[in-house]
Amino acid sequence: MTLATMSATTPAALSLINEECPLIDVRAPIEFAQGALPGAVNLPLMVDEERHQVGIAYKQQGQAAAIELGERLVSGALKQARIAAWKAYLAEHPDAVIYCFRGGLRSQIVQQWLEEAGISRPRLAGGWKAMRQALCERIDQAALQPMLVVAGLTGCAKTTLINQLHNGVDLEAYAHHKGSAFGRRPEEPATQIDFEHALAKRLIGLTEGLVIEDESRQIGSANIPLDFWRALQRAPRVRIEMPLDWRLAQIQQDYIIDLEQAYAVRFGAYQGWQLMQTQLNNALIRLGKRLGNARLQRLQRLQALAFNEHAHGNPQAHEAWLAPLLTEYYDPLYRYHLEKQRDTAPPEIHVGDWESCLAVARQWNR
């Protein structure tokens, strides 16, 4: 078969992402897992091993040999099965766009096979690479926009405040991580690429000021892009101050009750319960060097007792280890950083309770 030149392309415009255009990623699963475009479904032309073999042929013998090998590997019933998968998806998403890495050979082959099956769909010009470049450029542009940072001690519901705002940017949601040693979620953490793409998607429609939670550069497995993070460090901030009992109630909800439910939904009640306990115990262990051995062992004993009470219907028992974790570790650490940065820190335009900080954030940049 001679590969025809296909002219039906669509530009790698951010409007496709903003409007949630259905996307068919025909790259191999290993490529998709490393980072896809937002909203894409992986329906590969070749699976990982097939791609590997074709790649070797391309390097050693050139494009023609690689195409010939690909046609042999993906032929007959296997070819028909893959065409059927694309057709089934297009039956439900008739406006979908096809893409591969650079918008070249693989998406062109898929496009031609679909044409032969009576279906015409465009491929993304420049493919994944061109759209990724556009998404990364949007993050760089956002670093030049006005920003307001929401700061405060652990448990001050900063993320909740961010999500009350039309211009709030929830970095933790894009990282699939709550941003502390205890912030791991049941789902897999986002790859760096997927984190950046989710952030860029959120930024597409936000052309004015951005309100963002105070974060370290690393959130779970992802790093905030450097220019964007530097802009956060310079931005003015509001700081939430709430009493310990209020903060404990927030932490109980986020890190105990909601976490238990999330694990149960993903893994079932019994396995989810076991995995949740393991996660929270491992989080304490990860802080072991900073806590010191004696404090770690005390908190582990209190945590074990709390889980026993929790199993008998008393999740409030977790306050026994969460309270000292806040007052003896997280709060002093936060105040130390505040003091250390006192002369160089960006201005605080407001310090107050949660409601007053929400009101200030709503009025900011209007």
Reported as a single tens digit per residue, the pLDDT across 61-117 is 988 888 888 888 998 999 999 999 999 999 999 999 999 999 888 999 999 999 999
> Quick one: pLDDT at residue 337?
84
Mean pLDDT of 37-61: 93
Kindly tell me if the per-residue pLDDT of 180 is higher than 90: no
Say yes or no: 162 and 117 in one domain.
no
Final residue in a domain of this structure, among 108, 134, 160:
134
Kindly tell me if the per-residue pLDDT of 184 is higher than 90: no
> Quick one: pLDDT at residue 179?
67
The Cα 231–Cα 308 span in angstroms is 45
Say yes or no: 198 and 338 in one domain.
yes
> Quick one: pLDDT at residue 5?
45
Say yes or no: 149 and 123 in one domain.
no
Report the share of the chain in percent with pLDDT over 70: 98
Domain assignment of residue 249, yes or no: yes
Say yes or no: 44 and 83 in one domain.
yes
Mean pLDDT of 320-348: 88
Domain assignment of residue 17, yes or no: yes
> Quick one: pLDDT at residue 274?
95
> Quick one: pLDDT at residue 105?
87
Domain assignment of residue 53, yes or no: yes
Say yes or no: 78 and 205 in one domain.
no
289: containing domain:
145-363
Reported as a single tens digit per residue, the pLDDT across 5-21 is 446 999 999 999 999 99
Mean pLDDT of 291-320: 95
Say yes or no: 204 and 326 in one domain.
yes
Kindly tell me if the per-residue pLDDT of 228 is higher than 90: yes
Kindly tell me if the per-residue pLDDT of 1 is higher than 60: no
> Quick one: pLDDT at residue 191?
94
Say yes or no: 128 and 166 in one domain.
no
Nearest to 171, CA basis, from 143, 199, 141, 147: 199
> Quick one: pLDDT at residue 2?
42
Instruction: Say what the pTM is.
Output: 0.90
Say yes or no: 70 and 155 in one domain.
no
Kindly tell me if the per-residue pLDDT of 178 is higher than 90: no
Say yes or no: 113 and 252 in one domain.
no
Confidence of residue 197 (pLDDT cuts 50, 70, 90): very high
Domain assignment of residue 4, yes or no: no
Domain assignment of residue 151, yes or no: yes
> Quick one: pLDDT at residue 341?
75
Task: Catalogue the active-site residues.
Answer: 100
Kindly tell me if the per-residue pLDDT of 361 is higher than 90: yes
Domain assignment of residue 2, yes or no: no
Mean pLDDT of the chain: 92
Say yes or no: 54 and 96 in one domain.
yes
Confidence of residue 279 (pLDDT cuts 50, 70, 90): very high
Final residue in a domain of this structure, among 134, 161, 180:
134
Kindly tell me if the per-residue pLDDT of 3 is higher than 60: no
The Cα 114–Cα 174 span in angstroms is 34
Say yes or no: 107 and 162 in one domain.
no
The Cα 121–Cα 70 span in angstroms is 22
Higher-pLDDT residue of 255 and 3 is 255
The Cα 290–Cα 271 span in angstroms is 30
Kindly tell me if the per-residue pLDDT of 142 is higher than 70: yes
Kindly tell me if the per-residue pLDDT of 232 is higher than 60: yes
Domain assignment of residue 139, yes or no: no
Name every residue whose Cβ is closer than 8 Å to that of residue 352 and which is 6 or more positions away in sequence: 238, 240, 241, 360
> Quick one: pLDDT at residue 26?
97
Higher-pLDDT residue of 105 and 23 is 23
Q: What is the CATH number of the domain that holds 104?
A: 3.40.250.10
Domain assignment of residue 44, yes or no: yes
| Domain total in the chain | 2
Say yes or no: 193 and 109 in one domain.
no
Kindly tell me if the per-residue pLDDT of 236 is higher than 90: yes
> Quick one: pLDDT at residue 7?
63
Final residue in a domain of this structure, among 95, 113, 134:
134
The Cα 56–Cα 304 span in angstroms is 54
